[in-house]
């Protein structure tokens, strides 16, 4: 595989009783690369991300870190891929923020001292050390978003899949998130509708339309071509 971390070939998917959600998607992600995934709501972006961690399974082939995304490999793949869901409430469920961030590293069987270090580092990255002992439901929507990201970072994955990470963040928080994500060594797939956010982080972009990738290039180039602002 060399530096090729994700390879998707001819991926197609239809929801039961629904319309075709993905149509022949081909995609590659290389080591240390950040790729922005652009497109209108309903164009297939989140459905595509869900295939990369085996939450959905369609026709075609998906390989992550050299492994086919099939049931037998999901445990190993999910140890190497961290995914921030579009709705942060889908992945925050522990009594406190600190407990939630620690959940992933503890499930990996890491020593207590390593878990503590990862929790400290991750909360520092997202600016939530002061809220660590609060119940997640006491946080604002933007803070819950950052808490969910801290939980992903604490597992130290090789690849980050980020579905609208800037949602609910005010401008200072977005700038801080750009600095944080830009400083991380992981390869990233970034789904966003915010062109400036994508341009600040991504090496290149792909544009989804009606379940297919219809263009690839620089963020600014695709934004101009598809009037995406």
pLDDT for res 149: 93
| Largest Cα–Cα separation, the chain | 51
Find, among 119, 129, 127, the residue nearest to 177 by Cα.
127
Sketch out the chain's domains with CATH numbers: 4-93+158-225 (3.40.50.300)
Q: What is the pLDDT of residue 229?
A: 61
> What are the tens digits of pLDDT across the range 46-75?
999 999 999 999 999 999 999 999 999 999
Question: What mean pLDDT, rounded, does the chain reach?
Answer: 93
Q: What percentage of the chain has pLDDT greater than the value 70?
A: 98
User: What is the predicted pLDDT for the residue at 2?
Assistant: 58
Q: What is the reported pLDDT for 90?
A: 85
Contact 164, 149 (CB under 8 A): no
Exposure class string for 99-110: b at 16+ Cβ within 10 A, else e: bbbbbbbeeeeb
Lowest mean pLDDT among 42-51, 80-89, 207-216: 80-89
pLDDT band for 33, please (50, 70, 90 cuts): very high
Each residue of 183-197: pLDDT tens digit? 999 999 999 988 999
Average pLDDT of span 21-30: 97
Residues sharing a CB contact under 8 Å with residue 108, sequence separation 6 or more, in sequence order: 79, 155
């Amino acid at each position: 595989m060399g530096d090729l971390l994700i390879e998707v070939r001819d991926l197609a998917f239809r929801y039961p009783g629904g319309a075709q959600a993905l149509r022949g998607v081909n995609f590659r992600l290389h080591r240390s690369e950040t790729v922005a995934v652009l497109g209108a709501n309903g164009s297939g972006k989140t459905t595509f991300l869900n295939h990369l961690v085996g939450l959905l399974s369609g026709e075609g082939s998906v390989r992550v870190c050299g492994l086919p995304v099939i049931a037998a490999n999901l445990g190993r793949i999910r140890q190497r891929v961290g995914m921030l869901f579009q709705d942060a409430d889908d992945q925050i469920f522990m009594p406190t923020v600190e407990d939630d961030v620690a959940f992933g590293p503890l499930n990996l069987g890491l020593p207590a001292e390593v878990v503590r270090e990862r929790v400290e580092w991750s909360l520092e990255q997202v600016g939530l050390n002061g809220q660590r002992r609060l119940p997640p439901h006491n946080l604002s929507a933007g803070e819950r978003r950052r808490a969910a990201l801290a939980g992903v970072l604490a597992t130290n994955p090789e690849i980050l899949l980020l579905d609208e990470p800037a949602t609910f963040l005010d401008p200072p928080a977005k700038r801080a998130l750009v600095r944080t994500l830009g400083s991380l060594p992981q390869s990233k797939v970034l789904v966003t509708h915010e062109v400036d956010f994508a341009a600040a982080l991504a090496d290149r972009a792909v544009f989804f339309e009606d379940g297919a990738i219809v263009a690839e290039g620089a963020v600014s180039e695709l934004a101009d071509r598809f009037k995406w602002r």
